[in-house]
Structure 1
Amino acid sequence: MRIVFMGTPQFAVTSLDALITAGCDIVAVVTAPDKPAGRGQKLNESAVKQYAIANHIKVLQPEKLKSPEFLDELKALHADLQVVVAFRMLPEVVWNMPPRGTINLHASLLPQYRGAAPINWVLINGEKESGVTTFFLRHEIDTGNILFTEKITLTGQETAGELHDRLMNKGAGLLVKTVKGVESGRYNEHPQTQLAEGVELKHAPKIFKEDCQIKWDEPAATIYNKIRGLSPIPTAYTLLNEKILKVYSAQYEVTETNLQPGAFITDNKTYLKFAAADGFVSLTDVQLEGKKQMDIEQFLRGNKL
């Protein structure tokens, strides 16, 4: 099959590399336009573009996915199948173009955690399992017929960065299995099932800065899950002496405390504990506004509280 691959970040590169290693014919990649970044506003190429150039694959970078120029270029590739991993929402004129359809890899067990940030929300909500799903694209986002899924068990301690890497590698393998299945016709697509009675459908919307502020009046375990679910990016934060303190990792204990939620105790050497609704959250890896990231002992050496 002639395949057009659509993706942008490193998460997508792992899948693209797996498809090429498996002998798939990637005739082009579609990725985000170059964007200025850093102090010098130097144009920054996406991870997928860099990989494609290094492997002599044609690159398309449309500003608008409905532009006649892009659509003509896409049609001229005569793709049998399109594969989407960590890319933006496609209009029907694009996803409905190839005769074999367009498949998407999503980093959750659909129908749970549809949306832009499934890896973060699974951890924020303290789930016990996650996984990856491949499905055919349809009108509503992340709702198409499922092709394959693969589950993983969560430890209750991993960060979003660690889960990202696990699902990135797991998803690449599942995507190769899916493409080979579509090529041979050996697959059983099925609609996304209705959830059992009493099971809540959970979503994974884009995360904004206001979602990242720690609410100390919540249970300690809830705060702990939020910290690891947002680490290393976009990162949970609190205010300390009117400055933003990003929190990359922490530990927690459920215990009686007479302190108001948000009050802290410290020995100014080895620990900094904030009171939560039902115990303490001990910060272990932080970054104060304007400073570099450091472990709590380094932080306390330079910041007497």
Structure 2
Amino acid sequence: MRIVFMGNPSFACPSLDLLNDSDHEIVGVISDPPKRNSRKKEKKLSPLGEKALELNLNLYTPESLSDLSVYNWIKDLNPDVIIVVAFKIIPKNIIDIPQFGAINLHASLLPKYRGASPIQYALMNGDRVTGNTAFFIIPEVDKGNLILQDKIEIENTDNYESLSEKLSLNGAKLLVKSLKEITRKDFEPIIQNNSLASQAPKITKEICQIDWNQSAFSVQSKIRALYRSPGAYTTFNGKRIKILESIVRKDLSSVNAGTIMIDNESLFVSCSDYFLKILLLQAEGKRAMRAEDWVRGINKESLIEFI
């Protein structure tokens, strides 16, 4: 098949790689225009844009998909299908160009976790299983008919970074299978059961704040779900601290939520039921550090609680 591929983050790169190595032909790649790095002055392409150039593919970086020039560019390429991985909403006139329409890879088992943050919500909610869905794009977000799904177990040690990597590799294989699936004469897509739908909206700053009144498991789940960026945070002496890694200590009964305990330079924080032992954190304006190093560098008399 002739494919136009759309995407932005590194999550999409394994799919582009695998499709490019398959019997299919990537005739064009669309990604966002180069953006200025917050720390540096030069503009930089998205991870997918850089991957497309690395593979010597035909890359197009329009400001908006609604421009007529984008429609004409895709139309001239005469694709059989459009593949979308972690991109933006695709206008209907573009969806209608290829014979097989547009297929999206979504990192959940739809209709569960429709929206921008399915991986984070699976981790925050303590799910043991998640997966990928390949489905046909329609104007209503994440509501199109299903092609294929594949499940993945969530390990106790998984965080956003590790689970995202697993799903990106699994999703690449699922897309290749899906292209074969839609060409079968007896193929019939599956209609989503809307009564089973749940939402996974964009992560906000409010969601990122830790509530120490929750159970230790709930706080731990949030820390894993928001690992590194944007990061689950708390406040200490008026400054934000991201908590990046922790473990639940069921052998330590809780006291007042948010209370800090130091034992041999190890850092513990009380939740509603148990303590969390903090392993890795990032103070405001600082690099990530082991909790023991942070404890050694502060005034112990000020250690009362996180809020």
**Structure 1 runs not aligned, ≥5 long:** none
**Which residue is equivalent to 1:223?**
219
Does the 8 Å CA contact 1:159/1:232 hold for their aligned counterparts?
no
2:14 aligned partner:
14
Q: Give the match for residue 117 of structure 1.
A: 117
Q: Deviating runs (4+, > 6 A) in structure 1? A: none
Q: State the alpha-carbon separation in 2 of the partners of residues 71 and 10 from structure 1.
A: 25
The residue correspondences of 1:189-200 to structure 2 (distance < 5 A) are 189-195=189-195
User: C-alpha deviations, 1:237-286, integer Å up to 9, x for none?
Assistant: 1011211111111011346746321111113x431111111121111100
- Corresponding residue for residue 40 of structure 2: 40
Does residue 140 of structure 1 match 2:140? yes
Letter in 2 for 1:147: I
Match of residue 274 from structure 1 = 269
Correspondence for 1:264 among 240, 260, 263 = 260
What is the letter of the counterpart of residue 208 of structure 2?
A: C
Q: Which deviates further from its counterpart, 33-42 or 229-238?
A: 33-42
Residue in 1 that maps onto 2:65: 65
Mapping for residues 81-230 of structure 1, pairs under 5 Å: 81-185=81-185, 187-195=187-195, 201-230=197-226
SS in 2 for 1:166: helix
The question of whether the paired residues in 2 share the 8 Å contact of 1:126 and 1:156 is answered with: no
Q: Alpha-carbon deviations, 1:199-255, whole Å to 9, x = none?
A: x64311100112101001111111110111111221101011211111111011346
Task: Rate the CA distance shift 1:186–1:248 in 2: closer, same or farther, 3 A.
Answer: farther
Unaligned runs of 5+ in 2: 301-307
Bigger drift between 140-149 and 246-255 goes to 246-255
More displaced 10-residue stretch of structure 1: 160-169 or 175-184: 175-184
Q: Measured at CA, do residues 168 and 185 of structure 1 come closer, stay the same or move farther in structure 2, by a change above 3 Å?
A: farther
> Is the Cα–Cα contact under 8 Å of residues 265 and 296 in structure 2 kept in the other structure?
no
Tell me the distance in 1 between the aligned counterparts of 2:185 and 2:169: 24
AA in 1 matched with 2:42: K
Give the share of equivalent positions with the same residue, in percent: 36
8 Å CA contact 2:254–2:273 kept in 1: the answer is: no
TM-score, normalising length: structure 2? 0.93
- Seen in structure 2, the aligned counterparts of structure 1 residues 41 and 278 have a Cα distance that, compared at 3 Å, is same
Q: Describe the superposition over 1:75-134 as per-residue Cα deviations: whole angstroms up to 9, x where unpaired.
A: 111111100001111111111221111000000000001110111110000011000010
The TM-score, its normalising length taken from structure 1, stands at: 0.94
**CA gap 1:209/1:259 in 2 versus in 1, 3 angstroms:** same
The 1-side partners of 2:53 and 2:252 are apart by 58
- Residue 267 of structure 2 contacts residue 292 of structure 2 at CA under 8 Å; is this kept in 1? no
Two-structure CA RMSD over aligned residues (Å): 1.6
CA distance in 1, matches of 2:185, 2:28: 23
Paired letter, 2:172: A
Aligned equivalent of 1:301 = 296
Q: Aligned partners of 1:284, 1:256: CA distance in 2, in Å?
A: 16
Instruction: Report the alpha carbon displacement of residue 23 of structure 1 after superposing the two structures with TM.
Output: 2.3
Distance verdict in 2 for CA 1:232–1:40, change over 3 Å? closer
Aligned match of 2:279: 284
1:232 aligns with 2:220: no
SS at match of 2:182: helix
Q: Distance in 2 between matches of 1:256 and 1:302?
A: 25
